[in-house]
Structure 1
Amino acid sequence: MILRLLTLLLLLLPTSILAQERKNLEATRIENPPKIDGILDDEVWSSLPAFNDFNMYEPGNEGVIPPEYQTEVKFAYDDNFVYVAAYLYDPNPQDILTQFSQRDEVFVQADVFTIALNTYNDGINETRFYINSAGTIGDAFVSNGRTDFSYNVVFSARTSMDDKGWYAEFRIPYNALRFPEVDVQDWSVNFYRRLQTQNQTHTWNFIENSVGNETQYNGTVSGVRGINPPLRLTLFPFVQGVGTSFDGESDTNFSAGMDIKYGLSDSFTLDTTLIPDFGQAAFDEVRLNLGPFEQTFRENRQFFVEGIELFNKGDIFFSRRVGNAPTGSVGPLEENERIVEQPSKVNLLNALKISGRTKEKLGVGFFNAITERTFASIEDTLTGERREVLIEPLANYNIFVLDQQWNDNSSISLINTNVLRNGNFRDANVTALAFDVADKANTFRTSGRVVVSNVNEGNGFKTGLRTEFDIFKTKGKFRYRFGHDLANTTLDINDLGLNFRNNFNNFVVGGSYQIFEPTETFNFYRINLTVRHRRLYEPDVQTGNSIFTNAFFVTPERFAFGVDASYNTESDDYFEPRVAGRFLTYPSNYGFGGFVSSDFRKKFAYDLNLGYRKWDAEQQYRYNINLSPRYRFTDNFLVVWSTNYSKNENNFGWIFNDDNGIIIGQRDLTNIENSLTASYNFDPYKAIDLRFRNFWSTANHSDNVYWMLNDDGSRTRTEYDLENRDPDTNFNIWNLDLSFRWRFAPGSEATLLYRNQMFNQNDLANLNYSESLEALFDQPAQHTLSLRITYFVDVSNFGNWF
């Protein structure tokens, strides 16, 4: 049915071509390459044509760029590299902001120049290379309007400055690009210049900011011929030493491994990690979790965040599943046994991914990872004997993706994920068909997916289904959407994907109004309204409705603010009781909030968020405040502090299940989170970073109000024996990372990291914040010191070494 609707919609959509004039850049082959130092005094630059006449892009398309702020670009190539020089004229170079930062952190308080290069001229996928006025470089991969800064290649770029403005010089090796092996290349390009002081962005080829994606507006590149894709084999060997101290015990560990990138063809690349060690990945921001769903965290492991855009098609891949907690359990224990060791995660043995796109715009991806067998250790307290219990066998994770793109704005994808575990453990297979289709005029877009899951726990397969279908108007000041989401009761993609709930049949409609040209008062504003209707799939009953509106404004002085309001009808929660078929009814409620954000170009700036919510027919309410001031002492030193306080009075939720029924308890929830981020950048290659977070939360049931959950979702007051389980909770966690990073050569980096961690959880919910913090400091702290060195080796340059 969905495919028929999609076909009908495509027949009805307009077919006019996106109106635009595309500039052409004639590339020049050179014999004597320039020295990449940011000083454009090489003879070769003076002999090349300049491409200028930039256009306004932000805050709006209207307006003329003054001659004193003009930009000129020169473009050249030889057998091994692409070269770009940018002349960024400014009548007041002393006012150009130059805040230092590290790789990929280019959008700080500094001007930025960007090369957006599409080596297949497909209007969808492009590689971007950045440098800012402080000399920080960055790179990203852009596809379907999404920018992925986890993409990393090795290239060279430098800047300089004089009384006429600033200058940028790039050398991009061909092994950082993917292009077809043909005599004449068909490329496209655009250049962006961000002027931070003027709060403007200029582009070489005009981009109509109200229609389509940026990638559809590149100018063409002609004249690139006679180049061949090089041997794309790069090695990233690493060594790492770790010393850990916890509760009087110390341990040291030494590891070594390698990441490999190999160009299988002109379009496809193999990425693999051998004997990986992710000991320096950023810590997870753990919180007290009282809900029915698992707590999840963002991916911090570099291999799993870099170059996975293709594998995210269909939204059925959650990389934290690989090397996550074991799926098995220790089973029943004997009377005198206890668990002395139960690993919380599974070690990754190796992983690889192959991805690329053909000349016909067909993307192909394959991912494989293997995790090792994991055991828990059980001890007999009388004899001291120990036995090992397998809680996770050798597991194999696979993904296969096909993604066909067309029309510079549309795609359809087929994705399959598969998890195989040795022995009598669960296996899983999930397949998704996803589409994202727009008409040529970029007026309407429709997207959706069909997901089928199959899980085998040793007693046959359990099959589940999910569908999504949305229609959007994507052109003009007024836009709208209609959507429908459905999942049956057996959907389960959680072996390699992530879904918190199934069994729903939801509808959504929304609209927005926004401006694309600045007014006297605002550079930009947008107003949104969304209405949702929620039902169960089985039985077909309503679970709730909601309406949400928000507005966002930005002034010419870069002061941003917004407001929001929402109302939820009475709703039935079928997940909070933790029993199939049972539900807990929550009363209707309303809330509102807002935020302000000051101009980050100033040395002192801040963000402030406020929120309030009240539940009808209950004495329950919630309020929160978040304040985040920042101060830039110098261009080298930035400090950001954040404090978040929230209070939820008379909240109620699940406490305990037994044969007599489901117990619901009333509690007061308090959260305080403090964090500090400080960075001292010596230059764009060396920095000291401090990252600190303390999260405290309590669930206090001191009112002694408990209910028995009724079959109709209502509650009947009851007594509760705390001997079953005391629900009071005091949760406190502390993380501190202090690191020194040094990018000592292109692609090569050394990181020295000190990590301090503490955790405490008990039932002393009456403790205040300072008392809880004092109790936390009584706990043993884990101290970790590690040094990791990664070196970049380009095998194609082996000959040059000698």
Structure 2
Amino acid sequence: MKSFLWFCMGFLCIPFWGFSQETSKSIPKRIYTTNVLQGEAPKIDGIIDDESWNSVEWASDFIENRPDENTPPTEQTKFKIMYDAKFLYVAVRALDKNPEKIVKRLSRRDGFDGDWVEINIDSYHDLRSGFSFTVTAAGVKGDEFISNNGNNWDGSWNPIWYTKTSVDSEGWSAEMKIPFSQLRFGKSDEQIWGLQVQRRFFRKEERSTWQRIPLDAPGWVSEFGELHGLKNIIPQKQLEIQPFLLTQYDTYPEENGNPFRDGDDFSLNAGLDGKIGVTNDLTLDFTINPDFGQVEADPAAIALDGFQIFFREQRPFFVENKNIFDYQFANGQDNVFYSRRIGRNPQGFPNTQAQEFVNQPQNSTIIGAAKFSGKTKNGWSIGVLESVTGREFAEIDNNGTRRKELVEPLTNYFVGRLQKDFNERNTFIGGIFTATNRRLEDNLNFLHRSAYTGGLDFTHNWKDRTYYLQGNIVASHIEGSKEAIAATQNSLTHLFQRVDAGHVDVDPNRTSLTGTGGKLEFGKAGSGTWRYDAGVIWRSPELELNDIGFLRQADEVRQYANVRYQTTKSFGNFRRISARFSQFTTYDFEGNYNRIQYEINGNLRFLNNWWIDFGGAHKPRIFTNTFLRGGPRWRFSDENFGYAFFGTDERKKLRTSWGMVYSQAKQNNFRFFEVSGDVTYQPTNAMRISISPSYNNNPNKTQYVTEVNNNGTTRYILGDIDNQTLSAAIRFNYTINPNLSIQYYGEPFVSVGRYKDFKYVTNSIADNLNDRFYQYQPNEISFDTASNSYLVDEGADGNVNYSIGNPDFAFVQFRSNLVLRWEYIPGSELFLVWSQGTTGFGNTRNHILQSLDNQILGQQPENIFLMKFTYRFVL
């Protein structure tokens, strides 16, 4: 507990250290006063020659933000803003003495490549959220919703707006036409909005801004200038309907005798997405029978530790405005709401007999979903999400006789999020509530009948947002059959059955479980070159979020502290230098001191825009409650790891980055070596090709295999594994124009694991590695080819005590997507998609490249051809 006591003392001292730090001087807010449009609306063609632009003045005097903050930029920029009853009009003139050197690279929407300008609008004027509209010199649009004072930029937000650009002898110019219906603001005779205009001068990788924002500022949106003069504008209620029509044709290897795998399938589907502005502040988004066929496939992954794998959300309906529903109450990916639970793979499997064939659905059908979200003028942030997924049946065929079995019940998911701003937008208090309710039938009593989660959170900023204190608490309650609750207690997340745990045990008669978790953190977010934070996180053993959230492991108390340094000016050969030192310790709720880690990281960015990332960590204590999956607490030997990555100038047509990670444990308990890289080539402004290979080797002398019973004694079996993984993500992008593009993504993935030198645990927490296990002698273990298992004869007395299934594996997968996207009018799209994939298991004795050849190049793939047509009605 010594480290924990030291932390508590340091935590109490940090505020005094923080107040002694130098604070930046307040920067005066610049004000741009707009005016109502006079005469005809300007033609949006990128040429600022319309008479109406004369009704407003130019704003200029931009200041460099990066790399040399608060110095004159290489080239100046100026802009004008005017408005009418329905639109905000923006004109930007980006001066350039060498217009022939302006970089005009094409990409899909939100590409942000080449020279660009952007306007950020905080129409709520809450000093922490905003709307960003970007246009490149090539005319490519970008739009993002800004939240968390600039720490989160959500590129999934795709409003309807209009823009064009033009290059002339003075540089390049842009015109924008932004409908008020795409913004959110309250009713007022005269509006005051936050405003920022930023330019990227590509040749020098230079950023300049209209409102100066020091690099040591505590945020982005809070430092904006102001837009005045918006008088008597009427909030526009948004009403958009977007139906879609989808045709899909699948081909795959035919399986003899399987009526569900006859070689091809055809389907026709339709659905509807909509957006209704209930008020100008609050929007209702809904979807009926959504389709996500054009979404990029998840990357392949293998988890030898048994834990669930976190995949990022890619489905447009759930990605848009995700920040409103986000509630990361702890560290890592733990979140009260994990939208991938909605539409998940069915959790049940049918009872089948030999010679029966099964058609198992891949996902739960989302019958419908709706989101009600937004922010009111008086500081209320509101988010409500409701979704229903339908009953899913597996179809079983027995010599032509068919039956259906339920594998996923009708399920209702609800998420409600509320937050209120106080104290001149420096204090936020909020809460969240989630509910999952299932209509359980047939053989699905192993699922929770209901699951509820509630949480409260707060953030308080002071001293011009330099310092902050934030925290949250969550509570969960699940209900279900005795079978369901017992399964939860025995799951890897909880492990109440742990043989050496004195604070938890499995109660087979329980029908509910209630737990808590939370976080408390203090930190310095701005002013000067130093930042720091420290905090405590806890998750009680009973906490359970995985019905609609994501929780990797319960039963933990974690203390952490971080100190960061960053330069605010370029000097010598460096544009920027940053470094971080971090430390954390963990305990379980029984008081076991499980882990401590010290880590240091650094980043160097040179004047030529090459960069280096490096770091390392020391782990003098590593105990884990989950390694033996219900067995006793396990000790890993002390570990040290380090990494180093470098990259060339990301603006160049040929660019690359490479790096290495190496880890080594004491007594060679385990090692980890990984090398990965990326090579990108852009032969023309319209075409980009990249490949990102990765190889890792992870040998481990004590990899968990299984547990067996030996005459009433549990044996926890380990093995010496040599695990190698090889993958390479390949991407090709060709942009014909900003609204028409072709994209390809493909990734072969091979992971091979070979085991030897089997052993069983004797003293799981011994200091010496060899005292933790007993390794079978050659005459005690033999491989039986017929059963594909190892036969164990402890003591070599001629009697087989038990067997161990062969754990060797060679998993091979290839996934690819080829997508043609055409936005034929703003907001309406046509997708043509070809997805191809193959999954198989190779020979574990083959070389890893041989598995790639046999199982990918030598197999007939599965193909999906689909066409999706959407039309966006703006009413």
- Structure 1 residue aligned with 2:816: 736
Partner of 1:207: 213
Equivalents in 2 of 1:62, 1:543: separation in Å?
Answer: 48
Q: CA deviation at 1:358?
A: 1.5
User: Judging changes above 3 Å, is the alpha-carbon distance between structure 1 residues 268 and 8 closer, same or farther for their aligned structure 2 residues?
Assistant: farther
C-alpha distance in 2 between matches for 1:273 and 1:509: 43
The aligned counterpart of 1:644 is 694
Worse overlay, 334-343 or 117-126 = 334-343
- Scaled by the length of structure 1, the TM-score of the pair is 0.93
Q: Quick check: 1:114–1:193 contact (8 Å CA) kept in 2?
A: yes
1:716 aligns with 2:774: yes
Among residues 305, 323, 337, which one is paired with 1:317 in the alignment?
337
Kindly provide the CA deviation profile for residues 572-614 of structure 1, in whole angstroms up to 9, marking residues without a partner as x.
Answer: 22112111x6222210111111011101222211001112111
Counterpart AA for 2:650? F
Structure 1 residue 450 and structure 2 residue 530: aligned?
Answer: no
Q: Is 1:791 matched up with 2:867?
A: no
Q: Counterpart in 1 of 2:136?
A: 132
Q: Which runs of 5+ in 1 are unaligned?
A: 1-5, 796-802
Q: Does 1:19 align with 2:19?
A: no
Q: How does 1:331-410 map to 2 (within 5 A)?
A: 333=351, 340-378=358-396, 385-406=401-422, 407-410=424-427
Instruction: Look up the match of 1:163.
Output: 169
Please list, as runs of the form range in 1=range in 2, the aligned pairs for 1:695-710 lying within 5 A after superposition: 695-701=749-755, 703-708=756-761, 710=763
Question: What SS class does the counterpart of residue 855 from structure 2 fall into?
Answer: helix
Alpha-carbon distance, 1:671 to partner: 0.9
Q: Provide, for residues 676-704 of structure 1, a one-character-per-residue CA deviation record: whole Å limited to 9, x for no partner.
A: 11111112111111111011111111x33
| Cα displacement (A) at 1:508 | 1.1
Aligned 8 A contact 2:723 2:754 in 1: yes
Q: Alignment partner for residue 731 of structure 2, among 674, 677, 697?
A: 677
Bigger shift: residues 519-528 or 44-53:
44-53
Q: CA RMSD in A?
A: 2.4
| 1:625 counterpart = 2:675 | yes
Per the alignment, residue 194 of structure 1 pairs with: 200
What does residue 172 of structure 1 align with?
A: 178
Cα distance in 2 for partners of 1:40, 1:334 equals: 71
Counterpart residue identity of residue 135, structure 1? G
Q: Which amino acid aligns with 2:722?
A: D
- In the alignment, is residue 569 of structure 1 matched against residue 585 of structure 2? no
SS at match of 1:625: strand
Superposed displacement of residue 662, structure 1: 1.6
1:468 to 1:756, Cα distance in 2 relative to 1, 3 A: same
2:645 alignment partner in structure 1? 595
Question: Are 2:307 and 1:253 equivalent residues in the alignment?
Answer: no
1:621-652 Cα deviation digits (max 9, x unpaired) = 22111121111101111111111111123353
Are 1:299 and 2:313 counterparts? yes
Aligned to 1:439: 462
Taking the aligned partners of 2:62 and 2:46, their CA distance within structure 1 comes to: 21
Could you tell me how far 1:716 is from its partner in structure 2?
2.0
Contact 1:246 1:780 in 2 (8 A): yes
The alpha-carbon deviation at position 10 of structure 1 amounts to 11
Relative distance call for 1:710 and 1:376 in structure 2 (3 A) is: farther
Aligned to 1:799: none
- How far 1:765 sits from its partner (Å)? 4.4
Q: Return closer, same or farther for 1:8/1:431 CA change in 2, 3 Å cut-off.
A: farther
CA contact (8 A) 2:185 2:376 kept: no
Aligned equivalents of 2:278 and 2:14: distance in 1? 39
Q: In the alignment, which of 219, 222, 225 is matched to residue 228 of structure 2?
A: 222
Partners of 1:398 and 1:46 lie apart in 2 by 51
Matched, 1:111 2:118: no
CA contact (8 A) 2:581 2:601 kept: yes
Q: What letter corresponds to residue 143 of structure 2 in structure 1?
A: D
- Give the equivalent residue in structure 2 for 1:55: 63
Structure 1 residues 766 and 620, CA gap change in structure 2 (3 angstroms): farther
The whole-number CA distance in structure 2 between the counterparts of 1:399 and 1:615 is 43
Matched, 1:420 2:478: no
* Cα pair 1:136 1:684 within 8 Å, conserved: yes
Whether the 8 Å CA contact 1:216–1:408 is kept in 2: the answer is no
Offset of residue 211 of structure 1: 1.8
Contact 2:147 2:153 in 1 (8 A): yes
Partner deviation per Cα, 1:542-593 (whole Å, 9 max, x = no partner): 11211111100101111111211111123122112111x6222210111111
Matched, 1:725 2:732: no
Assess if the C-alpha contact under 8 Å between 1:454 and 1:462 holds in 2.
Answer: yes
Within 5 Å, which residues of 2 pair with 1:142-157?
142-144=146-148, 145=150, 146-157=152-163
* CA distance in 2: counterparts of 1:217 and 1:725, whole angstroms: 62
Quote how far apart the aligned CAs of 1:13 are. Answer: 9.4
Q: Distance in 2 between matches of 1:643 and 1:502?
A: 35
Instruction: Quote the Cα distance in structure 2 between the aligned partners of 1:619 and 1:440.
Output: 49
| Change in 2 beyond 3 A, CA 1:334/1:600 | closer
Residue 321 and residue 771 in structure 1: after superposition, are their counterparts in 2 closer, same or farther (change >3 A)?
Answer: closer
Q: Which amino acid aligns with 2:315?
A: R
State the AA in 1 paired with 2:753. Answer: A
- Deviation of 1:528 after TM superposition, in Å, equals 0.7
Report the TM-score when normalising by structure 2.
Answer: 0.86
C-alpha offsets along residues 499-530 of structure 1, whole Å, 9 cap, x if unaligned? 11011111112211110111122111111111
Name structure 2 gaps, 5 residues minimum. 1-10, 255-262, 329-334, 483-510, 767-771, 782-788, 791-802
Q: CA deviation at 1:274?
A: 1.1
Native 8 Å contact 1:741 1:752 kept in 2: yes
**Distance between the aligned counterparts of 1:615 and 1:570, measured in 2?**
11
Query: Retained in 1: the 8 A contact 2:58–2:79?
Result: yes
* Paired-residue identity, %: 26
492-501 or 203-212, which moves further after superposition? 203-212
What is the letter of the counterpart of residue 143 of structure 1?
A: S
Which amino acid is 2:727 matched to? E
Residue in 2 that maps onto 1:231: 237
Alignment partner for residue 97 of structure 2, among 91, 98, 101?
A: 91
Q: Which whole-Å CA distance do the structure 2 matches of 1:418 and 1:683 have between them?
A: 45
Provide, for residues 146-181 of structure 1, a one-character-per-residue CA deviation record: whole Å limited to 9, x for no partner: 111111111001100011100010000011011112
For residue 258 of structure 1, report the CA deviation from its aligned partner.
Answer: 1.3
Offset at residue 620 of structure 1 (A): 3.2
Are 1:65 and 2:73 counterparts?
yes
Are the counterparts in 2 of residues 17 and 441 from structure 1 also a CA contact under 8 Å?
no
Q: Is the 8 A contact 1:55 1:202 kept in 2?
A: yes
The change in CA–CA distance for 1:792 and 1:378 in structure 2 (over 3 A counts) is closer
Specify the code of the residue in structure 2 equivalent to 1:115: I
Deviation at 1:294, TM superposition (A): 1.0
Q: Could you say if the C-alpha distance between residues 234 and 709 of structure 1 is closer, same or farther in structure 2, counting changes exceeding 3 Å?
A: farther
User: Aligned residue for 1:496?
Assistant: 548
Q: Name the amino acid aligned to 2:684.
A: T
State the distance in 1 between where 2:851 and 2:370 align.
48
CA distance in 2, matches of 1:272, 1:163: 48
Give the deviation of 1:18 after TM superposition.
Answer: 7.6
1:481 to 533, 536, 539: 533
Question: Displacement, 1:60?
Answer: 3.2
Tell me whether 302-311 or 710-719 shows the greater mean CA deviation: 710-719
Distance 1:791 1:709, change over 3 A: farther
Q: Which amino acid letter does the alignment assign opposite residue 650 of structure 1? A: N
Looking at structure 2, the residues matched to 793 and 10 of structure 1 have their Cα atoms a distance apart, in angstroms, of 54
Partner-residue secondary structure (3-state), 1:776? helix
Match of 2:587 in 1: 535
Instruction: Report the equivalent of 2:298.
Output: 284
294-303 or 453-462, which deviates more: 453-462
CA contact (8 A) 1:663 1:709 kept: no
The answer for the alignment partner of 2:831 in structure 1 is: 751
Q: Once the 2 structures are TM-superposed, how far is the Cα of residue 246 of structure 1 from its aligned partner?
A: 0.8
Q: Distance in 2 between matches of 1:78 and 1:658?
A: 76
Give how far 1:730 is off.
0.2
Quote the offset at 1:11 in angstroms. 13
State how far apart, in whole Å, the 1-side matches of 2:17 and 2:431 are: 25
Q: Deviation of residue 665 (structure 1)?
A: 1.2
